């Protein structure tokens, strides 16, 4: 199966969408959700770090918003996963966080079905 981009998004520092390239680069985080993984690029003033998380490893996704964030339609998305290197991933200051959360949840569900991953819950 070939990897296809579902959506791309970035954090909004102080509620302002920045430029990916320019004279003054403030620290930013860029995300690309594909049908296989969530790719993360952290762009600092002098450094850049790239990582990813396989969608079938995602266990739980939570949106956290403060009152001022709700007014600006911003929020933090916390992803709990089975990834050993980074089991809790925090996506900070994401625009329309509930829509992004739902897109990640749906992509994760499809990925788990394709790989054959299931979780057993004691009810």
In a domain, 49, yes or no: yes
Give strand pairing partners of 63. 77
| 84: region left, alpha or beta (phi > 0 left; psi from -120 to 50 alpha) | alpha
Q: Report which of 7, 36, 6, 31 is spatially closest to residue 20, judged by C-alpha positions.
A: 31
CATH number at residue 24: 2.30.29.30
Give residue 62's pLDDT.
97
Segment (H or E) for 94 = strand 88-95
In a domain, 22, yes or no: yes
Residues (pLDDT < 70) of the chain are: 1, 13-26, 119, 121-123
- For residue 43, the enclosing domain spans 5-115
Give residue 102's pLDDT.
97
pLDDT in tens, 61-94: 999 999 999 999 999 999 999 988 889 999 999 9
In a domain, 108, yes or no: yes
In a domain, 121, yes or no: no
In a domain, 123, yes or no: no
Give residue 103's pLDDT.
97
Neighbours of 33 (CB within 10 A): 20
In a domain, 51, yes or no: yes
Give residue 121's pLDDT.
65
In a domain, 120, yes or no: no
How many domains does one find in the chain?
Answer: 1
In a domain, 50, yes or no: yes
Q: Which pTM does this prediction carry?
A: 0.84
């Amino acid at each position: 199966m070939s990897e296809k981009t579902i959506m791309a998004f970035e954090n909004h520092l102080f509620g302002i969408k920045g430029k990916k390239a320019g004279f003054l680069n403030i620290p930013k985080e860029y995300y690309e959700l594909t049908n296989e993984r969530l790719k993360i690029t952290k762009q600092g003033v002098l450094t850049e770090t790239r990582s990813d998380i396989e969608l079938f490893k995602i266990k739980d996704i939570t949106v956290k918003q403060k009152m001022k964030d709700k007014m600006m339609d911003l929020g933090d998305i916390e992803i709990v996963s089975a990834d050993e290197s980074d089991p809790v991933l925090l996506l900070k200051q994401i625009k329309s966080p509930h829509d992004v959360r739902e897109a990640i949840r749906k992509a994760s569900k499809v990925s788990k079905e394709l790989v054959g991953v299931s979780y057993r819950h004691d009810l």
